[in-house]
């Protein structure tokens, strides 16, 4: 068996297990499994893994560093793989033009200045750039995320921007918090956002260790890396 065939089998097995976890979590929450989109987080892994995952039916891929993501998206596209690319890491404004060159969704918008930079960079796109507002559940500025009134000001600004589309919210459970506590708070914020912007229903929450709690509290997207790609030697 070639390395590529072996890796495909490895990914197929992991993908089956992750999809089964999502299905069980949805069933327990009384939700259809189709409600939850798997975002395969391929950071540090090669474009060949993206190509294999796309061939296995994965439609959404997440990356958190622009330099790596831009090259990987181009390499995957050259092999015929065109998933929806989600940028999920903290983003500097001077990277906005690069990111909109490949990303379909930016999940980590947490300031008015970043929203404005993306709006300028996305002008002229055939389709608006989808934006999720990253929420800081615990207010720790080092991990990114909007807090307090900033969240609503940013969401209103994104909703009003012609080149952007407000998709919803994203969050990471804070260190030391029970995931249920974090995602329950996120669900409350999502409800408030949807009341003001009815189409902004996306909730990106949950990773390999806490996807069940995220689904329980309404996540529409889960960002899965380790459980899907394993501990294979990553790119450096």
CB 235 within 8 A of CB 44: yes
pLDDT band of residue 236 (cuts 50, 70, 90) is very low
Taking only the tens place, the pLDDT of each residue in 75-87 is 999 999 999 999 9
The 8-class DSSP code of residue 143 comes to G
pLDDT (tens digit, 9 = 90+) per residue, 7-23? Answer: 999 999 999 999 999 99
Q: Which residue's entry shows tokens 């990356």?
A: 63
pLDDT tens digits, one per residue of 188-233: 999 999 999 999 999 999 999 999 999 999 999 999 999 999 865 5
Summarised one tens digit per residue, pLDDT across range 53-96 is 999 999 999 999 999 999 999 999 999 999 999 999 999 999 99
Share of the chain above pLDDT 90, in %: 92
- Topology of domain 3-229 in CATH is TIM Barrel (3.20.20)
Burial of 167 (0-12, 13-18, 19+ CB in 10 A): buried
pTM, rounded to two decimals? 0.95
* Cβ-based neighbours of 216, under 8 Å, separated by 6 or more: 25, 28, 29, 180, 183
Q: β-pairing, 37-41 with 221-224?
A: parallel
């Amino acid at each position: 068996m070639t390395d590529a065939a072996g890796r495909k089998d490895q990914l197929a097995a992991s993908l089956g297990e992750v999809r089964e976890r999502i299905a069980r979590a949805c069933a327990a929450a009384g939700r259809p499994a189709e409600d939850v989109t798997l975002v395969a987080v391929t950071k540090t892994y090669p474009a060949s893994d993206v190509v294999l995952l796309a061939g296995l039916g994965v439609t959404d891929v997440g990356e958190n560093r622009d330099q790596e993501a831009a090259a990987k998206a181009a390499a995957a596209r050259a092999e015929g793989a065109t998933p929806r690319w989600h940028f999920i890491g903290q983003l500097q404004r001077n990277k906005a033009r690069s990111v909109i060159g490949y990303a379909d969704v930016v999940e980590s918008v947490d300031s008015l200045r970043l929203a404005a930079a993306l709006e300028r960079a996305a002008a002229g796109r055939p389709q608006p750039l989808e934006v999720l507002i990253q929420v800081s559940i615990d207010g720790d500025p080092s991990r990114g995320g909007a807090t307090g009134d900033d969240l609503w000001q940013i969401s209103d600004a994104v909703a009003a921007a012609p080149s952007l589309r407000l998709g919803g919210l994203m969050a990471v459970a804070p260190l030391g918090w029970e995931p249920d506590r974090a995602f329950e708070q996120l669900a409350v914020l999502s409800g408030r956002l949807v009341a003001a912007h009815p189409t902004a229903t996306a909730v990106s929450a949950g990773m390999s260790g806490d996807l069940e709690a995220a689904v329980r509290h309404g996540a529409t997207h889960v960002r899965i890396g380790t459980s899907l790609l394993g501990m294979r030697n990553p790119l450096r």
